[in-house]
Structure 1
Amino acid sequence: MTITKVNVIKWAKRIGYGIGILLALFICFYASIYFGLWGKIPNSKYLAQLNQSQATQVLDANNDLIGKIYVYDRQSITYDNFPQHLIDALIATEDVRFYEHSGIDSKSLLRVFFKSILLSDDSSGGGSTITLQLAKNLFGRKDYGPFGIVVNKIRETIVARRIERLYTKEEILTLYLNTVPFPDNTYGIESASEKFFNSHTKDLTLVQSATLVGSLKANNSYNPRRYPEKSRARKNVVIHQMQKYGYLNVEEANKAKSDSIVIDYQNYSPNEGLAPYFRAEIKKQLDTLLKQEKFRKPDGEMYNIYHDGLKIHTTLDNTMQRYAEAAMTEHMSDLQRQFEKAYGQNAPWLKGKAAFESAKKRLKSYKKLKAQGLDDKAIEDAMKRTHQIDRFSWDETTVASMSTLDSLEYYSKFLNAGLVSLDPATGAIKAYVGGINYNFFQFDHIVQSKRQVGSTFKPFVYTAALEQGMDPCTYFPLKAITYTDVNNWRPTNAGGPVDEDLNYSLQMALSNSINTIAVKVLYETGLGNVIDQAKKMGIESHIEAVPSIALGSSNLSVLELAKAYTTFVNGSKASTPIFITKIEDKDGNIIADYKDLHPEQEQNRMAFSNETRQVMLEFMKATVNEGTATRLRSTYQLPNALAGKTGTTQDNKDGWFVGIMPKLVTVTWVGNDNQQIGFSSTGLGQGANSALPIFAKYLQKLNADTNYNRITRASFENPSEAVLNALNCDPTKTDGFFKRLFGSNKKERRFEKKEKKKKKGGGIFGWLKKKDKDE
């Protein structure tokens, strides 16, 4: 017995020594973590000034969120924006003793110690308080090999205790809910609320709050978008916990469990969601703007659009944008089918065709292989290797196995489009569609692309003519003539034969887009005068000094064309297109206001007389009412006050339409990015068929929404009596017998001269005085 007692004492001492040694080792181990040997731990000073990365918000003109710029999709809100049922759901599910502990829940921690650490059961869960989770959310976890879970847990306990000493429970909940990760790479409750329910956090229902809180256990598994059934089951677990701990009674819990989850998903990722091309342009502008010293932080540092949580107020109207995108999709999906069907098996984008071969040699992959010294066969073989890609289609996006050459052939067939709508009085961009799908076609056809504008250039020619004193009732013969000063150039009109003895007034010629007369008007006006007039109206691109500009041979962007057309409904002044109206920091302090951003808007001058403006509007109203854009009335039954201009370029490669309303100017463009590929026929590719329907469908949607009556029901001003008198003439006339016999040749030779002397007098008053004198 004595020996046994001695042995027990001996073993007890050994165990005691062992525990002591283990305790000492643990204290040393803990100290090594505490003092930063495993990596620096945030001190109290740093924790007192937590400044987490926040997404920059892009807001529309109504202050609605249309997109974000971020590394982590996070935006912060204050505690008073949290509904009580959200707080209750979080505490009941994640940390029921939250208000009782000081960062560490000892009972739960012991469970974690024995299950997770000693038994290596990573799935045991529990033990992690809201404060511990906050520490993990703020600073993440590092890989320490086999010691990882222990080191990370201890680091988090140290940080959690420091947080509890520095912040109140409400502040901790606020920090937690603003940083916790939700499904789909979303950080913070406000971002999650907006993404999954299109709602602010303060407006969340009980079911919505329970759904989001439930997803915290496993972001992917309980994603309500991807796994609705799992999410619903998890939501009911949260509701059960709330009932269990007295936050809900039985009746409330049963109702919440039976209610379904209705997702209203909003995608704010850069490549998806509403207005992605507009948001991409906003980002480019911010990259430039925020480099300026006057827009920097008080300490002189630059704002970081990915981290500083800025608020960018823009001119876009999110509803108008949805209508514009929907109109584009409806029309382009149908036009694409017609486009492919019209070409059939002889399409220019197919392998072996000239357009395909040229496009192939422009590919970066081709140039890279060529630079490596590979011959054509080796390059071809390399580009035939297949790989899995997402493949765009108007029906649905699919995954397909395609080679580089297959992909080039497939994507070369797609028509693209652009639409921009401006408020002509302010230049505010209300809708902006830069292409058919940003995921697959990131080239912006509003600001990046410059294409020949076809007959949409003709109003500049006619405006210049009026400003140079030409009478609105001047008549020109339709007959095509040869210009010997331009290599015997002979422009003709679309369509069949014309009556060579017929003369058109300026209004008739413009509204019906007569090529032969447009060139004659240019010669009569003077090439330099036409170019100067276009520049005064806001065209900044180079305009080549050749007569073919009368038919739209100049390459212009959609946006600058829209800017120029605002002159017709903005007192003859070009409105500078505006994207951003105000920039705020995350606390609502103004970094840049409208005047800071747009000082040039006040400097715009009249590009032509008010009388000329009224005449040109009448000309372009006739385009809609009786000219090339009549399908706006006949096919689409649009009753609005409208003026406009269609445009089609050579070989039907570009289709244009400019829609002018008293309070809205819209330009649409359609074409293929490969400028070797046009439409197979004018009937299909003309602007009235390819581009005009986008505008028409867009306006139909605006008309159906009474919120836009201010725009859709606006009327043009009545032209002055002098203008009405000046326009009081027959649209056409035929030369008499003797004039045809003796005067025709002399008149035709007049247009063949390279230049004419400038007429005296300018503007409409010039031709009004001339008319009075003749009479």
Structure 2
Amino acid sequence: MAAKKQQQKKKNPNDVNRHIRTFWKIFGGLILLILFVFLLASWGVFGSLPDETSLENPEKNLATEIISSDGKTIGKFYKENRTPVQFDSLPDHLVNALIATEDARFYEHSGIDGKGTLRAVAFLGSRGGASTITQQLSKLFFTEQVSRNKFQRGLQKIKEWIIATRLERRYTKEEIITMYFNEYDFVNQAVGIESAAHIYFDKAPAQLTTSESAMLVGMFKNASLYNPLRNPEGVTNRRNVVLSQMEKYGYISKKVRDSLKALPLGINFTPQGHDEGIATYFREYARHFMEDWIKENPKPDGTKYNIYQDGLKVYVTIDSKMQQYAEEAVHAHMARLQIVFDEQNKNNKTAPFRHITEEETDKIMNSAMRKSDRWREMKKQGKEEDEIIESFKKKIPMRVFSWKGDIDTIMSPMDSIRYHKSFLQAAMMSMTPQTGEVKAWVGGIDYKHYKYDMVKKGRRQIGSTFKPFVYATAIDQMHMSPCDTLPNTIYTIPAGRHHLIQPWTPKNSGGTYGGMVTLKYALANSINTITARLIDRVGPEPVIDLISKMGVDTKEIPAVPSIALGTADISVYEMVGAYSTFANEGVYVEPILIQRIEDKNGTVLYQNVPKTKDVISGETAYVTVSLLEGVTQSGTGTRLRGNWAVNSPVYKKVMTGYPYDFKNPIAGKTGTTQNQSDGWFMGMVPNLVTGVWVGGDDRATHFGSITYGQGATMALPIWGLYMKKCYADEDLDVSTGNFPRPANLSIETDCSKWRESDPNVEKVPDEFDF
């Protein structure tokens, strides 16, 4: 028995050795199996991996940027709002925050952190993961969304390791960090650090503070969870964790950490969606321009550019500050004007419409219904018209526009249409006449709710702002002077002349007649009978020919005398271009909006070439400008001077920013159409021409009286407020000097010695402007 036990003891050492060998065989087999799995993964057995070329040139969706004349990005076109930055644009504290929080040994490993991996395996991830920055980048770049299946997730992890080691061979550490910052989605349409810095803090990455950098780095853990707009408390806590990590690894001191933790997040949310930000209407124009340009200008390989992913840079003429001032002026004045408009509609049973029948009202509403997005969408779904119409009567939750911000409410789509039609609209464009560069473009009061661009697409009757074209034609043809006089009496152009079927006898607003008046006085006070006499002398055809050379589409303008009083429909875009001809000494320059287009590498793909045309002599242009200066000196534009009407109820309610108290030379013209449907003001200084239109969505939407419904009250204040802001900004260099006078001026423009009107003739009241 004892011998048998002794024999078993002798066998034990061999058994131990055998077990040890078995262990190492199994261990070695596992290692070989793992290596074999990695090898198979690298061969693409478990799914394709990016090849060497794609690693060198990873595919990205890069946003196209719209860059203003003063170097600001005012908008983007994108599927992913991504604009890449270089490593030297990343502040040190941003990079340090990332390394301290995500991968403290980043500069020591080659894509896979061995220590971190062993720790993660030993403690089953309870003491942190082992994913390096390079691995996280590989997941962002090349792998699909993380799978919930453990086996598939394991294979995906293997792919990430393989790709991470390749990335480390191909790129420097700085390049890897840069790519990671450029690729990460910070939510709220902020893809990449450049977009995130602008959207959350309205600044470039290089301008971020340490606290701001820590907040953004904290979002790498889970941007959806740590969304500063939805979870500010959680984001603050996560930011403080990042600050603690920075202190732990010596990037900041404990004192700095504690002081930064006490700071608020300081979010300055500046969304870059297509409906938000500045110059929304202009950006939509730019998008259409780009789409048309792309059709005619393929890439060298024959494929088409894509404005949503090719990272183009579109340099435009818009000045970001002037655009901001223009939008602020429109907002400030229209919000106040709307209050008065709503007051006047309280007792109007057909509000917001006036002077139309119930049948005409139904026609307007039904037309709007059929043009709505809701109608189009339901039509696409194959719905019958009766069903669609019925849906417009049912109340549903919706968000509607107000000057104090969007309102969440419940109303029927048809009531929503009527509600939105109750708001007066506005449009504005500002341009440098010598170059054609458009500096500001406001197509409406709110792009989100009112997509139709009234700067270029919209065409409305222009009232008395058309009269300068008649005067300019008379000056050009007959060498007339602003000091020449004509009788202010009722005037009839007989039937048969200028294609008239019946006699035409225009009337002066207010019924004011009598005496002899100068052309300067007549234009300043918008006297219709004088304009009628002038167009009778020159004929309507030459006037139409003149404005055609000035860039106005005249196909729909009839050659009849009544156009002299502004019956034609013309856009703000065309009017500003035409008036700029006067300010530019008779030379028309086609408005320019897109200066050049570059690809993502800076190669110039398009360069604008200005289009100019000599239209009238410099003398005719200067004399016309002199006439228009009279409008702001003694006519309907005198509201721009002094504060003589500061106690008027009209001014107290409507005139935003009043008194304007401009002292410099200003040429301009107000305009008001029949029933106060449209109010205009065209204002010029030597290096800036600006046109403003105000009116309803429909011509039936208007004020009930001329007091508030004229151009001098509806449109002029926007120009005044805008110009005050421009003049306050010395960097803009908006002219305060005189218009350039021709060297050999032969027409007299100084009418100071002439008695402006017969003592018995009453001056046309300012509130009458037709």
Bucket of the pairwise TM-score, normalised by the shorter protein: 0.7 to 0.9
Q: Could you tell me whether the CA contact under 8 Å between 1:112 and 1:124 is conserved in 2? A: yes
Of residues 525, 542, 546, the one that matches 2:538 is 525
Alignment partner, residue 128 of structure 1: 131
Alignment partner, residue 396 of structure 2: 387
Alignment partner, residue 772 of structure 1: none
Per-residue Cα deviation, 1:530-555 (whole angstroms, up to 9, x for no partner)? 11111122213422222221111111
Of residues 497, 512, 523, the one that matches 1:510 is 523
Alignment partner, residue 562 of structure 1: 576
Q: Could you tell me whether the CA contact under 8 Å between 2:506 and 2:532 is conserved in 1? A: no
Q: Could you tell me whether the CA contact under 8 Å between 1:183 and 1:215 is conserved in 2? A: no
Of residues 479, 503, 511, the one that matches 2:490 is 479
Distance in 2 separating the partners of 1:196 and 1:637:
39
Letter in 1 for 2:591: P
Question: TM-score, normalized by length of structure 1?
Answer: 0.85
Q: Report 1:215-364 matches (<5 A).
A: 215-293=219-297, 296-346=298-348, 348-349=350-351, 353-354=358-359, 356-362=361-367, 363-364=369-370
* More displaced 10-residue stretch of structure 1: 267-276 or 511-520: 511-520
**Distance 1:349-1:126 versus aligned 2 partners, 3 A rule:** farther
Letter in 2 for 1:583: I
Of residues 46, 54, 57, the one that matches 1:49 is 57
Alignment partner, residue 67 of structure 1: 75
Letter in 1 for 2:437: A
Q: Could you tell me whether the CA contact under 8 Å between 1:417 and 1:670 is conserved in 2? A: yes
Of residues 693, 698, 701, the one that matches 2:717 is 693
Letter in 2 for 1:439: K
Q: Secondary structure at the match of 2:176?
A: helix
Of residues 574, 584, 601, the one that matches 2:588 is 574
Distance in 1 separating the partners of 2:532 and 2:309:
55
Q: Give the C-alpha shift of residue 138 in structure 1.
A: 1.4
Question: TM-score, normalized by length of structure 2?
Answer: 0.86
Letter in 2 for 1:669: W
Distance in 2 separating the partners of 1:326 and 1:375:
42
Letter in 1 for 2:604: I
Alignment partner, residue 704 of structure 2: 680
Alignment partner, residue 137 of structure 1: 140
Instruction: Determine if the alignment matches structure 1 residue 87 to structure 2 residue 95.
Output: yes
* More displaced 10-residue stretch of structure 1: 138-147 or 465-474: 138-147
> Structure 1: which 5+ residue stretches go unaligned?
737-775
Q: Could you tell me whether the CA contact under 8 Å between 1:360 and 1:408 is conserved in 2? A: yes
Per-residue Cα deviation, 1:710-746 (whole angstroms, up to 9, x for no partner)? 314232235766333685644334999xxxxxxxxxx
Per-residue Cα deviation, 1:114-150 (whole angstroms, up to 9, x for no partner)? 888xxxx9x9963221111111221352475624432
> Structure 2: which 5+ residue stretches go unaligned?
644-658, 762-770
Per-residue Cα deviation, 1:356-385 (whole angstroms, up to 9, x for no partner)? 412332223568989989686x65432212
Q: Give the C-alpha shift of residue 310 in structure 1.
A: 1.8
Q: Secondary structure at the match of 2:221?
A: coil
Q: Could you tell me whether the CA contact under 8 Å between 1:571 and 1:606 is conserved in 2? A: no
Of residues 723, 736, 747, the one that matches 1:713 is 736
Distance in 2 separating the partners of 1:250 and 1:373:
66
**Distance 1:636-1:489 versus aligned 2 partners, 3 A rule:** farther
Instruction: Determine if the alignment matches structure 1 residue 168 to structure 2 residue 179.
Output: no
* More displaced 10-residue stretch of structure 1: 417-426 or 105-114: 105-114
Distance in 2 separating the partners of 1:398 and 1:44:
53
Q: Secondary structure at the match of 1:283?
A: helix
**Distance 1:285-1:381 versus aligned 2 partners, 3 A rule:** closer
**Distance 1:320-1:366 versus aligned 2 partners, 3 A rule:** closer
Instruction: Determine if the alignment matches structure 1 residue 433 to structure 2 residue 457.
Output: no
Letter in 1 for 2:711: G
Letter in 2 for 1:169: K
**Distance 1:453-1:111 versus aligned 2 partners, 3 A rule:** farther
Q: Could you tell me whether the CA contact under 8 Å between 1:311 and 1:586 is conserved in 2? A: yes
**Distance 1:248-1:284 versus aligned 2 partners, 3 A rule:** same
Q: Secondary structure at the match of 2:70?
A: coil
**Distance 1:482-1:299 versus aligned 2 partners, 3 A rule:** closer
Q: Could you tell me whether the CA contact under 8 Å between 1:655 and 1:671 is conserved in 2? A: yes
**Distance 1:401-1:244 versus aligned 2 partners, 3 A rule:** same
Alignment partner, residue 656 of structure 2: none
Per-residue Cα deviation, 1:594-634 (whole angstroms, up to 9, x for no partner)? xxx22x52xx2321122222221111111111111111114
Aligned residues: 720
Query: Cα RMSD over matched residues?
Result: 3.3
Q: Give the C-alpha shift of residue 167 in structure 1.
A: 1.4
Per-residue Cα deviation, 1:488-547 (whole angstroms, up to 9, x for no partner)? 465544643323x33332222211112232222111111111111111222134222222
Per-residue Cα deviation, 1:314-344 (whole angstroms, up to 9, x for no partner)? 1111111111111000001111111121122
Distance in 2 separating the partners of 1:143 and 1:168:
26
* More displaced 10-residue stretch of structure 1: 716-725 or 128-137: 716-725
Instruction: Determine if the alignment matches structure 1 residue 537 to structure 2 residue 546.
Output: no
Q: Give the C-alpha shift of residue 226 in structure 1.
A: 4.5
Q: Give the C-alpha shift of residue 470 in structure 1.
A: 5.3
Q: Secondary structure at the match of 2:577?
A: helix
Q: Could you tell me whether the CA contact under 8 Å between 2:539 and 2:561 is conserved in 1? A: no
Q: Secondary structure at the match of 2:683?
A: strand
Q: Secondary structure at the match of 2:441?
A: strand
Question: What fraction of aligned residue pairs are identical, expressed as a percent?
Answer: 37
Letter in 2 for 1:321: Q
Per-residue Cα deviation, 1:39-66 (whole angstroms, up to 9, x for no partner)? 3211223202224222112111111221
Per-residue Cα deviation, 1:556-584 (whole angstroms, up to 9, x for no partner)? 11111100001111120112111122222
Q: Report 1:587-606 matches (<5 A).
A: 587-593=601-607, 597-598=608-609, 600-601=610-611, 604-606=612-614
Q: Could you tell me whether the CA contact under 8 Å between 1:103 and 1:129 is conserved in 2? A: yes
Q: Give the C-alpha shift of residue 468 in structure 1.
A: 1.6
* More displaced 10-residue stretch of structure 1: 561-570 or 240-249: 240-249
Q: Give the C-alpha shift of residue 25 in structure 1.
A: 7.9
Q: Secondary structure at the match of 1:522?
A: helix
Q: Give the C-alpha shift of residue 449 in structure 1.
A: 1.0
Alignment partner, residue 549 of structure 1: 563
Distance in 2 separating the partners of 1:269 and 1:162:
36
Letter in 2 for 1:316: I
Letter in 2 for 1:529: P
Q: Give the C-alpha shift of residue 21 in structure 1.
A: 9.4
Distance in 1 separating the partners of 2:143 and 2:452:
37
Q: Could you tell me whether the CA contact under 8 Å between 1:361 and 1:367 is conserved in 2? A: no
**Distance 1:373-1:291 versus aligned 2 partners, 3 A rule:** closer
Distance in 2 separating the partners of 1:489 and 1:148:
88
Distance in 2 separating the partners of 1:373 and 1:441:
25
Instruction: Determine if the alignment matches structure 1 residue 638 to structure 2 residue 662.
Output: yes
Q: Secondary structure at the match of 1:732?
A: coil
Distance in 1 separating the partners of 2:432 and 2:667:
15
Distance in 1 separating the partners of 2:570 and 2:749:
35
Q: Could you tell me whether the CA contact under 8 Å between 2:671 and 2:681 is conserved in 1? A: yes
**Distance 1:459-1:287 versus aligned 2 partners, 3 A rule:** same
Q: Give the C-alpha shift of residue 484 in structure 1.
A: 3.6
